[in-house]
Amino acid sequence: MGVVFGVALALGYTTAAHAHGADAPVAVDYRVEVASVSVPGVVVRPVEGGARLELKNESGREVVILGLQGEEFLRVRPDGVDENRKSPTWFASRSLSASGKGGDAKAMPEWHTVSMDPVVRWHDERARELPARAWSVPLLLDRQDPGIVRGTIVAAPAPATGWWWAGAVVVAAVVAALYRWKWVLVTAAVVGGGFTVAWIVGGAWLAVSPSESLTTQLVARLWPLLTGVGVVVAGLALTARRVDIVVAVAGACLAVMVGFADSGAFRYGVLAGPSWGRWAVATALAAGLGLLVAGGVRWYRTMGDGN
């Protein structure tokens, strides 16, 4: 029953495990490319697997990013960033789904300073998702000179999905088969949980921006982060005590909340986080499933011996 409860608990939090850098997915099937920026000293690049664009202004000029309706959306000064909270694009950019509604493109801008660094990141539906196409984002320099960012979206080849799944399942089966050796479970827990924590922290670090601290990014990944830590703790506890059911539940949570929840890394070609993200997800899946079965079997045998 403890194992079933662990799986149910993990399933209840699966949605939260998708939150990477606000709400960026773990991987996508397209690649966002920036072809040119017409303003010297302004650098634009895709971040978080193309979920957001980043503009860095080292031109010494005031650069205004124009929104979907041609309104002033973001203002990147040499000494900071302001956002126009009357902009319809500002409302739409609050989430990856662009579902926010509000604002008035014809209203006078209502500027709010969000950073003292000339760097900004934002969701922009003009430069996201298939079909393959060209895209552009207009700029306004010093309130009078036009500028533009141009780029393309191309399809990204899928990874060897079946091999990633097969590899994770085979390793999980090996861990489960060696359930008698406690050190195998301890190693699986420490490696699986530790690798998960490193991947989450690495992804959070890559998503940090002047207006979003590392703490903010880690909070967005809170449940899988706590799961990774919990698995490590459960594994270390097994060295001193017979906590087989705890190990099984921890494994279930790791497999579901990280392995299955982030299995998009096996399906799509562009990762939103570190380049070794597929290895992290595969390790979490293998360790989680292996610990679930091995811990459950050890607990069952202990209960049987007690009878």
For 10-68, write each residue's pLDDT tens digit. Answer: 444 433 333 334 467 899 999 999 999 999 999 999 999 998 999 999 999 999 999 99
Q: What whole-number distance in Å separates Cα of residue 252 and Cα of residue 7?
A: 5
Q: What is the mean pLDDT of the chain?
A: 89
Does the pLDDT of residue 211 top 90, yes or no? no
Cα separation of 96 and 88, whole Å?
Answer: 15
Cα distances from 256 to residues 6, 23, 207, 228, in angstroms, run 10, 19, 24, 12
Tell me, what's the pLDDT at 7?
42
Res 306: pLDDT? 53
Residue 6: is its pLDDT beyond 80? no
Buried b (16+ CB within 10 A) or exposed e, 153-171: beebeebeeeebeebbeeb
Task: List, for residues 233-288, the tens digit of each pLDDT value.
Answer: 999 999 999 899 999 999 999 999 999 999 999 999 999 999 999 999 999 999 99
C-beta separation of 206 from 274 below 8 A: yes
Residue 289 above 70 pLDDT?
A: yes
Q: Work out the pLDDT band at 202, boundaries 50, 70, 90.
A: very high
Report, as an integer, the average pLDDT of 288-292. Answer: 98
269 burial (CB, 10 Å; 0-12 / 13-18 / 19+) is middle
pLDDT at 304: 62
pLDDT for res 98 = 56
CA 205 centroid distance within chain: 11
The share of the chain scoring above pLDDT 90, in percent, equals 78
| Statement: residue 171 has pLDDT above 70 | yes
Q: What are phi and psi of 209, to 5 degrees?
A: -135, 170
State the Cα–Cα distance between residues 207 and 157, nearest whole angstrom.
Answer: 24
Q: Tell me, what's the pLDDT at 52?
A: 92
CA distance 118 to 43: 11
Pairing of strands 63-66, 133-141: antiparallel
pLDDT for residue 103: 84
| pTM beyond cutoff 0.95 | no
